[in-house]
């Protein structure tokens, strides 16, 4: 048992060393982002030009709020005024981000979904982003399957709430269920792209799907 404990310690120290020396961790600290994940969305948007002033956006699985920070930056006009609307939702509390409306809860629950829809007031969305991830077990097959379930939930939500030319950005894991998620995207969207931004570690199974233009209006 002691040997196992030392091995875990080595893994923990290796992770900590990598984290401390990660250039995106340093950039996030320098620029006041709540996590390095901000650069994943930034780099995807730099490539795809998805976020534009005036948009209405929902951020699923928003905590700790790094993606909300990026959304707010890119929806803010000169002078600091937000042009558009950002509604964020998570099962975990999130420290406030200026101009972002936050809803605590699980949108799989009818009452939470109804509250989210009430906040939207019947308006369709330009963009849905999801950085949702399950609590990881360390079992790759099980974790990938749980990730696929969350991606499919985001896809279902987006199909019902996006404008016809709207876009969904979702985090996925390569592994069990991934090909089915891609096929699901292709059924819903006219254009589907796979993106692996530089801020996503090379050794990670994480990737992002970008779907644009609903095949049928939600």
The boundaries of the domain holding residue 17 are 1-31
Asked if residue 149 and residue 78 are part of one domain, the reply reads yes
Asked if residue 7 and residue 88 are part of one domain, the reply reads no
Asked if residue 75 and residue 3 are part of one domain, the reply reads no
**pLDDT score of 78:** 81
**pLDDT score of 125:** 98
Find all residues with CB under 8 Å of 104, minimum gap 6, and list them.
Answer: 89, 90, 91, 92, 93, 94
**pLDDT score of 11:** 53
Asked if residue 17 and residue 53 are part of one domain, the reply reads no
Q: How far apart are CA 153 and CA 102, in angstroms?
A: 19
In the chain (218 residues long), the average pLDDT of successive 10-residue segments reads 41 56 88 96 97 97 98 90 96 97 95 94 96 84 87 96 98 89 97 96 91 80
2: left (phi over 0), alpha (psi -120 to 50) or beta: alpha
Asked if residue 179 and residue 78 are part of one domain, the reply reads yes
Asked if residue 110 and residue 5 are part of one domain, the reply reads no
Asked if residue 107 and residue 138 are part of one domain, the reply reads yes
**pLDDT score of 176:** 82
**SS3 of 88, please?**
strand
Please report, for residues 93, 111, 143, 178, the alpha-carbon distance to residue 45 in angstroms, rounded to integers and kept in the order given.
26, 32, 27, 22
**pLDDT score of 18:** 58
Q: How far apart are CA 94 and CA 62, in angstroms?
A: 8
pTM (2 d.p.): 0.88
* Residues belonging to the active site: 171
Asked if residue 135 and residue 102 are part of one domain, the reply reads yes
Number of independent structural domains in the chain = 2
Asked if residue 56 and residue 138 are part of one domain, the reply reads yes
Cis peptide bond upstream of 64, omega within 30 = yes
Asked if residue 49 and residue 12 are part of one domain, the reply reads no
Please report, for residues 16, 174, 178, 193, 198, the alpha-carbon distance to residue 209 in angstroms, rounded to integers and kept in the order given.
29, 11, 10, 6, 15
**SS3 of 189, please?**
strand
């Amino acid at each position: 048992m002691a040997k196992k404990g030392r091995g875990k310690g080595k893994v923990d120290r290796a992770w900590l060393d990598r984290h401390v020396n990660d250039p995106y961790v340093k950039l996030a600290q320098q620029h006041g982002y709540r996590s390095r994940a901000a650069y994943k969305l930034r780099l995807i948007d730099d490539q795809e030009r998805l976020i534009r002033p005036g948009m209405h956006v929902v951020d699923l699985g928003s905590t700790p709020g790094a993606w909300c920070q990026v959304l707010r930056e890119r929806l803010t006009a000169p002078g600091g005024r937000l042009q558009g609307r950002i509604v964020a939702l998570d099962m975990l509390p999130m420290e406030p981000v200026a101009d972002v409306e936050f809803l605590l809860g699980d949108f799989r629950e009818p009452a939470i979904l109804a509250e989210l829809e009430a906040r939207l007031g019947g308006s369709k969305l330009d963009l849905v982003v999801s950085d949702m991830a399950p609590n990881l077990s360390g079992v790759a097959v099980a974790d990938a399957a749980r990730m696929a379930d969350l991606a499919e939930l985001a896809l279902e939500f987006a199909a019902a709430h996006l404008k016809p030319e709207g876009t969904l950005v979702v985090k996925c894991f390569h592994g069990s269920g991934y090909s089915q998620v891609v096929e699901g995207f292709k059924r819903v969207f006219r254009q589907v792209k796979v993106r692996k931004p530089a801020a996503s570690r090379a050794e990670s199974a994480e990737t992002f799907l970008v779907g644009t233009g609903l095949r049928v209006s939600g």
